[in-house]
Amino acid sequence: MELSRRDAIAALSAAGVAVGGGGAVLLATDDRSDATVGTDDGTATTQSEPLGEDVFRTLTAAAEVLYPTEVSGADEFVRRFVRGRARDQPDHADGIADAAAYLDEYARAWFDDEFAALSPETRDQALRRMNVDTIEPDPDGSDGQRVRYFVVNELLFALYASPTGGKLVGIENPQGHPGGIQSYRRGPDA
């Protein structure tokens, strides 16, 4: 199952990020570090990339461990979702950056390399060693709680709020995604 730009837009919408005309432009131009967008007064402004490449590498490496093996296209999906979220919510972006930096720091301390450079099995082990599979997420809590909140929960929310991720768990039409005419023409057991 390939994650697409449409999946990223649906996930951003579910997260409360405005992805109307301007949001679509941001997602269309997200391959560059700067994006030119229109403002309310009709002028254009340039927004610089709020997160560094190291953050995206770490988040993508985490997604490779957290997402089911049936999912492909996680790298671009994660980039689009996190960029949209970061541009709309700069304080949230700071939390993501701090949690990703801590995850790298933790991986270096325990496994002698940055998180993204570890094998998928070792990345999974690192996350479990931090207890992010059981710890309570808290944006203002301990480092582990922040990793759970800003990395694990963020990535899982993005996936399962998307139409493709929703299909994986049997919710073909997540909130904000109408699903098309086919979903209205078949019975509940179809």
Is there a domain that residue 184 lies in? Answer: no
Is there a domain that residue 108 lies in? Answer: yes
| Total domains, the chain | 1
Higher pLDDT, 10 or 178: 10
Whether 152 and 66 have beta carbons less than 8 Å apart is answered as yes
Is there a domain that residue 190 lies in? Answer: no
Is there a domain that residue 50 lies in? Answer: yes
pLDDT tens sequence across 31-53: 444 444 444 455 444 455 668 89
Kindly report the average pLDDT of the chain as a whole number. Answer: 80
Is there a domain that residue 185 lies in? Answer: no
pLDDT tens sequence across 134-155: 999 999 999 999 999 999 999 9
pLDDT at 102 over 80: yes
What value does the mean pLDDT take over residues 8-26? 70
User: 99 lies in which domain range?
Assistant: 5-178
Q: Alpha helices of 112-178 — where are they, by DSSP H?
A: 120-129, 143-147, 154-161, 163-168
Taking the C-alpha atoms of residue 92 and residue 139, their distance in angstroms, rounded to an integer, is 9
Q: Which of 145, 131, 129, 24 is nearest to 95 (CA)?
A: 145
pLDDT at 26 over 60: no
Is there a domain that residue 94 lies in? Answer: yes
Whether 139 and 127 have beta carbons less than 8 Å apart is answered as no
Is there a domain that residue 160 lies in? Answer: yes
Lowest mean pLDDT among 70-84, 113-127, 166-180: 166-180
CA distances for 4 relative to 11, 79, 168, angstroms: 11, 11, 15
Is there a domain that residue 13 lies in? Answer: yes
